[in-house]
Amino acid sequence: MPSENQILNALRKVYDPEIPVNLVDLGLIYEITIEDQTVNIKMTLTATGCPMHSVITQNVKQTVDALEGVSQTAVEIVWEPRWNPEMISSEGRTALGME
């Protein structure tokens, strides 16, 4: 079973199709819990009406499901706390030209 850090590293390969920064550095991944061979992910999106909602969710699920030892991934979209640009990591800020 992968560790939380291994899961986060895998999720660094998943991008919001409209923003050239991965979901981890955007600050969209709120919580990862591991139970047996199931990974539960609580995450948010940059906007409640995000048209890429299902694509992003499916990409997260496929990426984590592909990790050795994972039999199932459950992705829950939450809206609290509400995402804001302050949640972007320094790497993400650099990629977006914010720093």
Within a domain: residue 99? Answer: no
- 38 assigned to some structural domain: yes
Range of the domain at 28: 4-84
What integer pLDDT is reported at residue 5 of this predicted model?
A: 96
Q: Tell me: the pLDDT tens digits for 14-71?
A: 998 888 899 999 999 999 999 999 999 999 999 888 788 899 999 999 999 999 999 9
What is the per-residue pLDDT for 17? 87
Domain count, the chain: 1
Q: What is the CATH classification number for the domain harbouring 48?
A: 3.30.300.130
User: What average pLDDT does the segment 62-88 reach?
Assistant: 97
In a domain, 95, yes or no: no
Instruction: Give the gyration radius of the chain's Cα atoms.
Output: 13
Tell whether 97 is covered by a domain. no
* Count, residues in the chain: 99
Cα gap 60→11, rounded to integer Å: 7
Q: pTM (2 decimals)?
A: 0.94
Residue 66, SS3 per DSSP: coil
